[in-house]
C-alpha cells in the first residue's frame, strides 16, 4: 500500500493536480485577503463618518445640562454593545451608558455603576470637549469582526471542498494514467523478452499523447517483427542454399571413396567437390560483403571515382568472356570523365554484377547495351539486355538476398548479385530502377552529384 | 609495374632490401667460384626465385590450417616456423629473422592487427601476408593500414598463398631497368611496345600487352587469377565469370598457338606462369 502510494506520488497526473491545487489555493487566499482588507477599510470609514455625524448632533445642544440630558435620553435607547455614549460633565458626573476606563493595558469601555463591568468587543471612539465636559462616542466594531467570520466561512465552504475534490480527482487520474502507462510498459516488457507479437491495445478513454506513444510502440514492434521475420527467412534461405551444395560435396567425397576402392579416376570427383566448396565460399563471401555494405562504414573513405574509366575497365574485362558466350557488349561512354563520390572497388563490383547478370539472363539475345550519361547534376548508368526480362511483380523481389526467379534456377549465380547492386546503390545514396526494356531488362542507376 | 620498380629505389626499406639481396647474390657467386660463366649461372639461379628457400613464420591458431600451410611451404623448400597465438607470434617475429610473416587476423592472446601494429611500431618491416575470414573492402583497408603487405581471404587455395608469399619476398624482380623483356624466343620491347616471337611480329591489344608484361616481369613465379586482376585491372573482388581465363586464352591464341612451344603455363590450382 505504501509502495503503491509512493508510486502514485511520483506519477505525473497527481503531481500536476497537486501543483494546480496549490496554485488555486494561493490565488484564492490572496484574493479573499484583499477583498477582506478592502471591505474592512470601507466599514471602518463608515463607522468613522457615523461617529463624526453623532458628534455634530450633540454639539448642537445649547449648553452643558442640555447636552447631559440629551446624552442620557439617547443612551437609554441605545444598546451599549453597539453604541456607547458617555459625557463627563463639568461637575464631574458621568452621563450615558458607559465610561472610558484606563489601566495598564490601555483604554477599556466599562458600564456605569458600581459593577464597572467591562464590555467585550472592540470599539472605535471619538472624544471631544464640550461645555467644559468630555463627550465620548464609541461605536462597536462587531460588524467588522463578523465580517472576518463571514470570510473564514467562505474560505471553509468554497476552498476546502475544491481542494479535496481536486486532490481526489488527481489521484483518480493518476491511477488511471498509471494503468495506461502500465499497459505500454507491459507490452515493452513482452517485446524485450522476445514476444514480437505483443501490441499496445489502447482503451477508449486514453489520452492523446499516450495513444501516440502506444501507436509508436506498435509501429516499432511491427518493424521489428518484419525485420526479424526477414532475417529468419534469409537464414532459412542461406541454410537451404548451402545445404544443397554441401550435399553435393558429400556425394563427391563418396565418389572419391568408391574411386579409391575400385581404382577409378579420382581427379573428376575431387575437382567437382572443390568447385562446390568454392561456390559455398563465394556465397558466404557475398553475404558478408552485403552485410558490410549495408552497414555503411565504407562511406568514411569515399573518394571521387571516374565512372567512365571504371565502366571502360569492366567492359574490357568482360568483353572476351562475353564473346565466348556469343554475346556482344555494346557500350556508349562519354568522352570525358564522369566523376561521382564513392568507393571504387564497390562501384566496380556493382558494374561487374550488372554485366554478369545481363550475360546470364539475356537468353538468346546477343547484344548487351551498357551506357553512361552525365548532366551537370547527375550521372546515369544503363545496363540493358534483350532477354526474357523480369515480370513487374518480381522486380522488387530480385533485389532481396538469395531470391531467384524460378526459371533461373538452372543458371549459375546464387541470387546475391542484384542484392549487392542494391546495397552499393543505397550506400552511394543513388537510385536503382529496374525497367522493362521490351524485351529484356534495363537497369538504371542514377547518381546525384 | 614501373612504379613497383621505381619504389625499389625510392623506398628506403625496399632499397636496402634490394642492395642486401644484391650483396647476398654477390656473396653466393663468390662462393660458387668466379669467372664470367660462374656469374651468369649464379644470376640465373638467383633469379629463379621459386627455388630460393626462405625462412617463414606462420602465426595461426587453427592447427589444421597451420599444418596445411606449413607442410605445403616446406614441400616448396622453405623453412617454416609455426606458432599458435598472438603473443608467441610477436616474440617469435621480433627475435627470428624471417623473410615473410603469414599472420592470421583473429588470434588468441593478441589479435593479428594489434600484433602487426606493434611489430611495425617497433620498426620491424618484415613483409606480412594477413589471413582473414572477413574480406570486405573495409577489412582489406584496415589490414593494409595496419601495415600488412598483402591480404588473403579464407578459404584460400594453397597455390594462391604460395604465389603471394613468393611475390612478397620482395627480392628484386630481375634487373629490369632494361627496355626489353625476354622469355624463350619471345621478345617484348617496352619502348616501341613491339612483341615478336621467333622473328614474327605479334599484334597485342593494350591490356593483352600489360598482361604479358606482368607475367614476363615475374618469370618463374606463379601469378594467380586474383593477383592478375589486382595488377592488370586494379580489381580487388573476385568475379563470378572466368574473365581472367578468357583473357589468358586470347593472349595464348596470339602468343602461343601459332608457335611450337607454350610459353604461358597453367599451374593447376594456382594460376599462370612464364618459365624463366
Q: Is residue A163, in this structure, part of any structural domain at all?
A: no
Q: How sure is the predictor about B272, in pLDDT bands with cuts at 50, 70 and 90?
A: very high
Average pLDDT of the residues in B5-32 = 41
As given in the structure block, the three cell numbers for residue A31 are: 484574493
Residues of chain B numbered 45-74 and touching chain A (CB < 8 Å): none
Q: Which of A186-195, B2-11, B135-144 has the highest mean pLDDT?
A: A186-195
Backbone φ and ψ of A411, nearest 5°: -85, 160
Domain range annotation of chain B: 2-47, 51-168, 180-274
Residue B14: pLDDT band (50, 70, 90) is very low
DSSP state, residue B230? I
The verdict on A189 touching B (C-beta cutoff 8 Å) is no
- Residue B22's pLDDT is what? 43
Could you report how far apart the first and last alpha carbons of chain B are, in Å?
18
**pLDDT tier, B194 (very low <50, low <70, confident <90, very high otherwise):** very high
Which residues of chain B neighbour A298 with C-beta distances below 8 Å? 137-138
For residue A95, what is the enclosing H or E element?
A: strand A94-96
* C-alpha–C-alpha distance, residues B254 and B274, integer Å: 15
The pLDDT, as a whole number, for residue A264 is: 80
The minimal CB distance from A292 to the residues B136, B241, B250 is found for B136
Q: Can you tell me the distance from the alpha carbon of A166 to that of A155, in angstroms, rounded to the nearest whole number?
A: 16
Which pLDDT band, with edges at 50, 70 and 90, does B40 fall under?
very low
Nearest CA in chain B to A414: B240
Q: Are residues A271 and A384 in the same domain?
A: no
Chain B residues close to A352, C-beta within 8 Å: 235, 237, 239
Same domain, A287 and A307: no
Does residue B9 have a pLDDT over 70? no
Q: Which of A109-113, B31-35, B174-178, B233-237 has the lowest mean pLDDT?
A: B31-35
Put simply, the answer to whether B136 touches A324 (Cβ < 8 Å) is no
- Looking at the structure, do residues A286 and A355 belong to the same domain, yes or no? no
Chain A residues in contact with B233 (beta carbon < 8 A): 313, 316-317
Between the alpha carbon of residue B101 and those of residues A80, A94, B52, B186, the distances in Å are: 121, 131, 16, 36
Residue A244 is predicted with a pLDDT of: 83
User: Is residue A378 located within the same domain as residue A316?
Assistant: yes
Q: Find the closest chain B residue to A298 by CA distance.
A: B138
Which residues are registered as beta bridge partners of A110? A99, A118
A317 at the B interface (CB within 8 A)? yes
Q: In this structure, are strands B100-104 and B128-132 parallel, antiparallel, or unpaired? A: parallel
Q: Cell numbers at residue A249, please?
A: 560435396
The pLDDT of residue B155 is above 50 = yes
**Cα(A98)–Cα(A104) distance, rounded to whole angstroms?**
19
Q: Please give the Cα distance from B276 to B267 (Å, whole number).
A: 14
- Flag whether residue A326 sits within 8 Å of chain B, measured between CB atoms: no
Q: Please report residues of A whose CB lies closer than 8 A to that of B134.
A: 288, 292
Looking at the predicted structure, is the pLDDT value of residue B106 above 90?
A: no
Among A166-170, A335-339, B74-78, B93-97, the range scoring the smallest mean pLDDT is: A166-170
pLDDT of amino acid B135:
64
CATH number of the structural domain spanning residue A279? 1.10.287
Instruction: Walk across the sheet containing A431-436 and list its strands.
Output: A328-332, A367-374, A378-384, A441-448, A431-436
Q: Which of B138, B238, B239 sits opposite A297 (nearest CB)?
A: B138
Q: Which residues contact A89 (CB under 8 A, 6 or more apart)?
A: A64, A65, A68, A95, A132, A133
Percent of chain A's residues with pLDDT above 90: 24
- What is the predicted pLDDT for the residue at A412? 56
B241 neighbourhood in chain A, CB within 8 Å? 318, 321, 356, 359
Q: How far is residue A5 from each of residues A2, A15, A184, A214, measured CA to CA in Å?
A: 5, 12, 20, 25
Instruction: Output phi, psi for B149, to 5 deg.
Output: -95, -25
Alpha carbons A434 and A390: distance in angstroms, whole number: 9
Provide the residue count of chain A.
Answer: 449
Give chain A's residues under pLDDT 70: 1, 8, 113-115, 403-414
A134 and A83 part of one domain = yes
Asked whether the beta carbons of residue A352 and residue B138 sit closer than 8 angstroms, the reply is no
Looking at residues B248-262, what average pLDDT do you find? Answer: 91
Q: For residue B197, what is the enclosing H or E element?
A: strand B194-197
pLDDT at A406: 59
* 3-state SS track over B63-91: HHHHHHHHHHHHHCCCEEEEECCHHHHHH
The grid cell for A119 is 464590555
Element (H, E) at B241: none
Residues A271 and A373 in one domain: no
Do both A329 and A304 map to the same domain?
yes
In degrees, rounded to 5, the angle at the alpha carbon of residue A440 between the alpha carbons of residues A326 and A385 is 40
Q: Whole-angstrom Cα distance, residue B137 to residue B143?
A: 10
Q: Is the pLDDT of residue B8 over 80?
A: no
Q: DSSP secondary-structure letter at A43? A: H
Distance from CA of B23 to the nearest CA of A (A): 40
The whole-angstrom distance between residue A154's C-alpha and the CA centroid of its chain comes to 43
What CATH number does the domain containing A374 carry?
3.30.565.10
DSSP state of B233: I
Closest CA to A321 of B207, B252, B242: B242
Please identify, in words, the CATH class of the domain defined by B51-168.
Answer: alpha beta
pLDDT attached to residue B30: 40
CB neighbour burial string for A363-400, b if at least 16 within 10 angstroms, e if fewer? eebeebbbbbebeeeebbbbbbbbbbbbeeeebeebbb
Number of structural domains found in chain A? 3
Residues B60, B66: contact at Cβ < 8 Å?
A: yes
End position of a domain, from candidates A292, A312, A332: A292
DSSP state of B259: S
Is A342 near chain B, with CB under 8 Å?
A: no
Is this complex scored with an ipTM above 0.90? no
Say if residue A410 is in the same domain as residue A431: yes
* Residue A361 contacts residue A385 (beta carbons within 8 Å): yes
A420 touches chain B (CB under 8 A): no
Q: Which of B274, B268, B162 is nearest to B215 (CA)?
A: B274
Q: Minimal Cα–Cα distance from A416 to chain B, Å?
A: 11
pLDDT at A34: 93
User: What is the span of the domain harbouring residue A395?
Assistant: 297-448
A112 and A233 both lie in a single domain: no
Q: What is the pLDDT of residue B7?
A: 39
Q: What is the CATH number of domain B180-274?
A: 1.10.10.10
A353: which 3 cell numbers? 554484377
Q: Give chain B's length.
A: 276
Residue B255 has pLDDT above 50, yes or no: yes
d(C-alpha A423, C-alpha B247), whole Å: 29
Does the beta carbon of B238 lie under 8 angstroms from any beta carbon of chain A? yes
Average pLDDT over residues B238-266: 89
**Listed residues A145, A170, A193: the one ending a domain:** A145
- How many Cβ contacts (< 8 angstroms) between chains A and B? 66
Extract the C-alpha cell encoding A445.
542507376
Whether pLDDT at B59 is above 90:
yes
Looking at residue A354, its pLDDT comes to 92
Q: Which residues of B touch A279 (CB under 8 A)?
A: none
pLDDT value of position A42: 92
A265 plus A333 within the same structural domain: no
* Angle (deg, nearest 10), helices B63-75 and B158-168: 60
Q: Provide the 3-class DSSP secondary structure of residue B1.
A: coil
Residue B165 predicted with pLDDT over 80 = yes
CA A368/CA A63 separation, integer angstroms: 138
Amino acid at each position: 500500500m505504501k509502495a503503491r502510494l509512493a508510486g502514485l506520488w511520483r506519477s505525473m497526473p497527481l503531481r500536476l493536480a497537486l501543483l494546480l491545487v496549490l496554485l488555486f489555493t494561493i490565488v484564492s487566499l490572496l484574493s479573499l485577503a484583499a477583498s477582506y482588507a478592502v471591505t474592512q477599510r470601507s466599514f471602518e470609514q463608515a463607522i468613522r463618518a457615523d461617529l463624526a455625524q453623532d458628534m455634530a448632533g450633540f454639539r448642537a445642544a445649547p449648553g452643558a445640562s442640555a447636552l447631559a440630558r440629551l446624552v442620557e435620553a439617547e443612551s437609554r435607547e441605545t444598546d451599549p454593545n453597539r453604541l456607547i455614549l458617555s459625557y463627563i460633565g463639568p461637575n464631574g458626573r458621568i452621563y450615558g451608558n458607559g465610561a472610558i476606563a484606563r489601566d495598564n493595558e490601555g483604554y477599556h469601555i466599562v458600564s456605569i455603576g458600581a459593577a464597572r463591568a467591562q464590555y467585550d468587543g472592540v470599539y472605535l471612539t471619538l472624544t471631544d470637549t464640550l461645555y467644559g465636559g468630555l463627550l465620548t462616542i464609541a461605536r462597536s466594531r462587531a460588524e467588522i469582526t463578523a465580517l472576518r467570520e463571514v470570510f473564514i466561512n467562505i474560505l471553509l465552504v468554497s476552498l476546502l471542498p475544491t481542494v479535496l475534490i481536486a486532490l481526489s480527482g488527481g489521484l483518480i487520474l493518476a491511477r488511471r494514467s498509471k494503468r495506461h502507462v502500465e499497459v505500454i510498459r507491459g507490452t515493452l516488457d513482452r517485446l524485450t523478452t522476445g514476444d514480437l507479437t505483443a501490441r499496445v491495445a489502447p482503451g477508449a478513454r486514453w489520452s492523446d499523447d499516450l495513444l501516440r506513444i502506444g501507436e509508436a510502440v506498435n509501429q516499432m514492434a511491427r518493424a521489428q517483427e518484419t525485420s526479424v521475420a526477414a532475417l529468419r527467412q534469409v537464414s532459412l534461405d542461406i541454410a537451404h542454399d548451402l545445404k544443397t551444395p554441401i550435399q553435393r560435396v558429400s556425394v563427391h567425397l563418396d565418389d572419391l571413396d568408391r574411386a579409391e576402392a575400385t581404382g577409378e579416376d579420382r581427379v573428376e570427383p575431387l575437382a567437382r567437390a572443390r568447385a562446390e566448396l568454392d561456390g559455398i565460399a563465394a556465397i558466404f563471401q557475398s553475404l558478408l560483403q552485403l552485410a558490410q555494405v549495408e552497414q555503411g562504414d565504407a562511406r568514411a573513405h569515399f573518394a571521387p571515382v571516374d565512372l567512365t574509366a571504371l565502366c571502360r575497365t569492366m567492359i574490357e574485362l568482360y568483353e572476351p568472356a562475353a564473346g565466348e558466350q556469343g554475346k556482344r557488349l555494346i557500350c556508349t561512354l562519354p568522352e570525358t570523365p564522369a566523376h561521382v563520390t564513392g568507393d571504387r572497388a564497390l562501384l566496380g563490383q556493382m558494374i561487374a554484377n550488372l554485366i554478369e547478370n545481363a550475360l546470364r539472363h539475356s537468353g538468346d539475345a546477343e547484344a548487351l547495351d551498357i551506357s553512361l550519361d552525365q548532366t551537370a547534376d547527375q550521372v546515369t548508368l544503363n545496363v540493358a539486355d534483350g532477354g526474357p526480362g523480369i515480370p513487374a511483380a518480381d522486380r522488387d523481389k530480385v533485389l532481396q538476398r538469395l531470391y531467384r526467379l524460378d526459371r533461373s534456377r538452372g543458371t549459375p549465380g546464387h541470387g546475391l548479385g542484384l542484392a549487392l547492386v542494391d546495397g552499393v546503390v543505397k550506400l552511394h545514396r543513388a537510385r536503382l530502377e529496374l525497367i522493362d526494356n521490351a524485351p529484356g531488362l534495363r537497369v538504371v542507376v542514377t547518381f546525384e552529384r | 609495374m614501373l612504379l613497383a620498380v621505381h619504389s625499389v629505389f625510392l623506398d628506403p626499406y625496399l632499397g636496402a632490401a634490394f642492395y642486401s639481396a644484391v650483396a647476398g647474390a654477390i656473396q653466393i657467386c663468390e662462393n660458387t667460384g668466379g669467372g664470367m660463366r660462374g656469374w651468369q649461372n649464379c644470376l640465373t639461379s638467383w633469379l629463379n626465385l621459386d627455388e630460393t628457400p626462405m625462412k617463414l613464420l606462420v602465426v595461426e591458431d587453427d592447427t589444421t590450417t597451420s599444418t596445411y600451410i606449413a607442410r605445403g611451404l616446406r614441400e616448396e623448400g622453405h623453412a617454416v616456423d609455426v606458432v599458435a597465438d598472438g603473443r608467441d607470434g610477436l616474440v617469435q617475429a621480433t627475435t627470428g629473422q624471417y623473410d615473410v610473416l603469414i599472420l592470421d587476423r583473429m588470434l588468441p592472446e593478441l589479435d593479428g592487427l594489434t600484433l602487426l601494429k606493434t611489430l611495425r611500431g617497433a620498426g620491424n618491416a618484415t613483409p606480412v601476408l594477413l589471413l582473414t575470414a572477413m574480406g570486405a573492402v573495409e577489412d582489406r583497408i584496415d589490414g593494409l593500414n595496419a601495415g600488412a603487405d598483402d591480404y588473403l581471404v579464407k578459404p584460400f587455395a594453397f597455390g594462391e598463398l604460395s604465389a603471394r608469399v613468393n611475390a612478397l619476398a620482395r627480392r628484386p624482380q630481375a634487373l629490369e631497368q632494361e627496355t626489353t623483356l625476354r622469355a624463350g624466343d619471345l621478345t617484348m620491347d617496352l619502348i616501341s611496345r613491339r612483341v615478336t616471337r621467333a622473328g614474327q611480329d605479334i599484334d597485342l591489344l593494350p591490356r593483352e600487352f600489360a598482361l604479358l608484361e606482368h607475367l614476363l616481369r615475374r618469370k618463374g613465379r606463379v601469378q594467380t587469377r586474383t593477383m592478375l586482376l589486382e595488377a592488370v585491372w586494379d580489381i580487388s573482388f573476385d568475379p563470378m565469370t572466368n574473365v581472367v581465363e578468357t583473357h589468358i586464352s586470347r593472349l595464348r591464341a596470339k602468343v602461343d598457338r601459332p608457335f611450337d612451344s607454350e610459353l604461358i603455363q597453367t599451374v593447376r590450382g594456382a594460376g599462370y606462369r612464364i618459365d624463366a
